[in-house]
Amino acid sequence: TQLLEQSPQFLSIQEGENLTVYCNSSSVFSSLQWYRQEPGEGPVLLVTVVTGGEVKKLKRLTFQFGDARKDSSLHITAAQPGDTGLYLCAVYNRAGTALIFGKGTTLSVSS
Amino acid sequence: EAGVAQSPRYKIIEKRQSVAFWCNPISGHATLYWYQQILGQGPKLLIQFQNNGVVDDSQLPKDRFSAERLKGVDSTLKIQPAKLEDSAVYLCASSLGRGHRGTEAFFGQGTRLTVV
């Protein structure tokens, strides 16, 4: 059973469109991270959310942590080709030692 | 600040051969991870070190995979013998702490392994 379920798995859109990707779980987490991975590179941290209901903005990216701290969403406004990549959500395991990833959403933005 | 260094970037081997990957984490980072990433999927944790001790190796196929982190700095991951299903990107990551409430993990560029 996958701890983190991400949807959609693939998303292909045109430049300028808006989109939302989701990260869901039946477990409660003390924090949740979003990473972006570009082709041929390792994942890079975008944001960490720690409080239920928290909203964080990073330029055109808006991250929200669910009130119950079981899920999160990432909304991109006016997507650009540079947003293309694999978006991964991640949490630490119960022991707080190991970082566990979802399977990711592959986003392709064409101009 | 130098990032996580991995080598080689690419490796092609025949099945049943052996291969080794090397990782040099960010200076001062006590925690080191090895992940396996199948194309288009999220990274899967193989093993985690805290300094030179193993914290979690529950997902490591120990019949063929081994890893060590001598002196608590560099690490090597070895596969012997390799199988076709081992074709993946092997990512090394390091973090300053042990992972409490959102410690950031820093990743290397990975080694893309193709087993033919």
3-state SS string for B47-114? EEEECCEEEECCCCCCCCEEEECHHHCCEEEEECCCCHHHCEEEEEEEECCCCCCCCCCEECCCEEEE
Q: What is the pLDDT of residue A98?
A: 83
Checking if the pLDDT of A95 tops 80, the result is no
pLDDT averages per 10-residue partition of chain B, 116 residues: 92 98 94 93 93 90 95 94 97 82 86 98
Mean pLDDT score of chain B: 93
Q: What is the pLDDT of residue B72?
A: 83
Neighbours of B111 (CB within 10 A): 22
Q: Average pLDDT for residues A25-54, to the nearest whole number?
A: 94
pLDDT single digits (tens) B8-41: 999 999 999 999 999 999 999 999 999 999 988 8
Percentage of residues of chain B with pLDDT beyond 70: 95
Confidence of residue A93 (pLDDT cuts 50, 70, 90): confident
Q: What is the pLDDT of residue B101?
A: 58
Q: What is the pLDDT of residue A83?
A: 97
Nearest CA to A31 out of A6, A7, A52, A55 is that of: A52
Checking if the pLDDT of A34 tops 90, the result is yes
In sequence order, the 6+-apart residues with CB closer than 8 A to the CB of B86 are B64, B79, B113, B115
Checking if the pLDDT of A1 tops 90, the result is no
Q: What is the pLDDT of residue B25?
A: 96
Strand blocks (E) in chain A: 5-7, 10-14, 19-24, 32-37, 44-49, 55-58, 61-65, 71-76, 85-92, 99-101, 105-110
Residue contact A103–B105, C-beta within 8 A = no
Residue contact B42–A40, C-beta within 8 A = no
Q: In the A/B pair of chains, how many CB contacts fall below 8 A?
A: 74
Percentage of residues of chain A with pLDDT beyond 90: 87
Residue contact B99–A98, C-beta within 8 A = yes
3-state secondary structure of A83: helix
Q: Closest residue of A to B107, CA-based?
A: A42
Q: Average pLDDT for residues A91-103, to the nearest whole number?
A: 86
Report residue B113: phi and psi, to 5°.
-105, 130
Residues of A in contact with B99 (CB under 8 A): 92, 96-99
